[in-house]
């Protein structure tokens, strides 16, 4: 199971902040910075290698809008009944 980037960031910042307040823990400050760096790297890598949607996939997400023949309200093409008047569309 992979550790999410936000966890790396939160733990890294927490360790860095706490180690600055406690004398003698400067080593842990740098460990916290490494954790923050890992979290940022994971976010950047995920952004670079994300799947880009094609125009056809974007079109598929938008529902086609039609009109109800009875009350003229807008309905989606996948609806079987009008949301406003209840008329059967198919």
Q: How confident is the model at residue 57 (pLDDT cuts 50, 70, 90)?
A: low
Note whether 75 and 68 are within 8 A (CB). yes
Contact 85, 71 (CB under 8 A): yes
Environment class of residue 13 by beta-carbon count within 10 Å: exposed (0-12), middle (13-18) or buried (19+)?
Answer: middle
**Average pLDDT along the chain:** 86
What residues does each domain of the chain span? 5-48, 57-90
On the CB side of 49, how many CA atoms lie within 13 Å of its CA?
A: 6
Q: Tell me what pLDDT residue 45 has.
A: 93
Q: Please name every residue paired with 67 in a beta bridge, in sequence order, or none if there are none.
A: 74
| CA dihedral sign, ordered 32, 34, 37, 43 | negative
Look at the pTM and tell me if it is higher than 0.75.
Answer: no
């Amino acid at each position: 199971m992979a550790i999410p980037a936000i966890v790396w960031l939160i733990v890294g910042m927490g360790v860095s902040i706490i180690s600055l307040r406690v004398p003698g823990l400067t080593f842990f400050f740098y460990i916290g910075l490494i954790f923050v760096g890992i979290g940022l790297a994971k976010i950047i890598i995920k952004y670079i290698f994300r799947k880009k949607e094609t125009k056809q996939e974007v079109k598929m997400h938008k529902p086609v809008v039609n009109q109800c023949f009875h009350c003229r309200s807008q309905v989606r093409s996948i609806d079987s009944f009008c949301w406003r008047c209840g008329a059967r569309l198919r």
